[in-house]
Structure 1
């Protein structure tokens, strides 16, 4: 496994890799969710590259960029054990050199959900992913369904800009008790960790209602909110029932829906989602 940090080294080592190349962009502090993407890439492609970069442009002024967990040595050990061929860990100066002024922005599908709550977040995400694709030149890229809106936004960007990369959106990986894996789970105290199970529990309650015939978006949304309201450590920022493709909020009778949420447990902001269809 090669570790590179400069564009020159990346391009040199990229040329030696067999095509098609599978690529997994990450912000590091890797967990089983990230590794599931690496394994999917390994299964589909003869060579795999991973990037590790905590992207400053997708963090808002009040968000946790400085506190975001990092452990490059542990990340590299995990990736080597998975048989990754190339790891690119650029510095912010490589990605955003002095005088940087170019941005990639997707409009409509970023107006809702995370985009509404975190202004400018997706402008940073799409810009850095476009730059990563441009530098690594993968034929396949692997993302997790946990960041549901991100998957929709990047899919739109790839389609709109005719990028020659096939996207693979892989299922959410959960702890045995149902909590969606996230680097931010490390912020939770033991009591908060237990309380955080209310997110997945509320989604499973909605799934059960849907499977029993409930097709009203407003009723499904209220089902989720009712479960969340029963947990005193949880503070809901939003619960959404949206069209899985456009992310427009739904009302009345639906045939499919993306139920997603952002919930504070203590000071930690967690997201989770489920697609019902």
Structure 2
């Protein structure tokens, strides 16, 4: 496994591997502090490609004022061990100066899909995400790029960018990975105090409750789902709801309260963002009602 810190060296290494018949290139973009969710992306990339590139870069332009850029968890040696144990060929760890040697005057912005959910709560966040991901695509030129569905809005935004700009890369969404008790894995889980960690289980519990009630036919509309999600989450005394939303996927259009979810065959997402103390966690469940509603 090679550790590379400059764009020039990375381009040369990928070009060399491609020219010598190493097969398709897979990119797993991350901000580091790797967990089993990231490992699942690396394993999928290992299965599908000949060269697996993992990027580790805490991207400053996707953090807003007062967010946790400076304190975002970092552990390079641990990350390298995780990468090597999951078959990564190249780890790209650029510094901020390498990625942004001068203040950037060009940004990639996807409209509409970024104006709600996390985009509404974190103005400019997705412009930073799409800009850095576009830069990574241009640097690595991957055939496939792997993203976790925990941030389903991010997946939808990146897929829209790829489609609109005719980028020559296939996005591979990968399932959410959870702890045994249901908490979705996240690098930010490390921030949670013991009580907050326990209370955060209300996220997966609210999603499963809503899905079970939909399956039984006890609730059928988007408004009923929103109300149930809010009711269950509010049972936690420290949960501060940012949003509990029901949308079509991947176009991310909020469904009207009277929209019926059963029998449509359309993909629908139940999306949550909730604060526990100072930590903001997201979670979601995606389903297509015609094929049944899977539990998270």
Question: Displacement, 1:78?
Answer: 0.9
Alignment match, 2:271: 260
Equivalences for 1:69-148 in 2 at 5 Å?
69-148=73-152
1:16 maps to 2:16: yes
Question: Which residue of 2 is the match for residue 239 of structure 1?
Answer: 244
| 147, 155, 169: which one aligns with 1:151 | 155
Is contact 1:141–1:167 with CA below 8 Å preserved after alignment?
Answer: yes
Aligned to 1:160: 164
Give the alignment partner of residue 48 of structure 1, picking from 47, 52, 55.
Answer: 52
Q: Over residues 48-97 of structure 1, what are the superposed CA-to-partner deviations in whole Å (9 max), with x where a residue is unaligned? A: 01000000000000100001000011000111111211011111111111
**Helix, strand or coil for the counterpart of 1:109?**
coil
Counterpart Cα distance in 1 of 2:143 and 2:42: 15
1:250 is matched with: 255
Aligned equivalent of 2:62, options 58, 62, 66: 58
- In 2: Cα distance, 1:81 partner to 1:135 partner: 25
Aligned to 1:190: 194
- Structure 1 residues without counterparts, runs of 5 or longer: none
The whole-number CA distance in structure 2 between the counterparts of 1:84 and 1:20 is 14
Is the partner of 1:36 in helix, strand or coil? helix
Deviations 1:107-132 (A, max 9, x none): 11111111111100000000000000
Q: Is the 8 A contact 2:43 2:87 kept in 1?
A: no
Residue 230 of structure 1 and its aligned partner are, at CA, apart by 0.6
Judge conservation of contact 2:144–2:171 (CA < 8 Å) in 1.
Answer: yes
Residues 245 and 83 of structure 1: CA distance in aligned 2, closer, same or farther (over 3 Å): closer
User: Which stretch of structure 1 is more off in the superposition, 213-222 or 60-69?
Assistant: 213-222
State the aligned residue count: 277
- Which one of 217, 221, 227 corresponds to residue 216 of structure 1? 221
Contact 1:210 1:276 in 2 (8 A): no
Name stretches of at least 5 consecutive residues in structure 2 with no aligned partner. Answer: 289-296
Q: CA RMSD in A?
A: 0.9
Structure 1, residues 250-274: CA drift from partner, whole Å, max 9, x if none? 1212334211011011111000000
TM-score (norm 2): 0.92
After the TM superposition, which segments of 4 or more aligned residues of structure 1 sit over 3 Å from their partners? none
Contact 1:112–1:248 (CA under 8 A) maintained in structure 2: no
How much does 1:100 deviate? 2.3
In the alignment, the residues of structure 2 paired with residue 132 and residue 120 of structure 1 have an alpha-carbon distance, to the nearest angstrom, of: 19
1:26 paired to 2:30:
yes
Say which SS state the counterpart of residue 150 (structure 2) adopts. Answer: coil
Structure 2 residue aligned with 1:177: 181
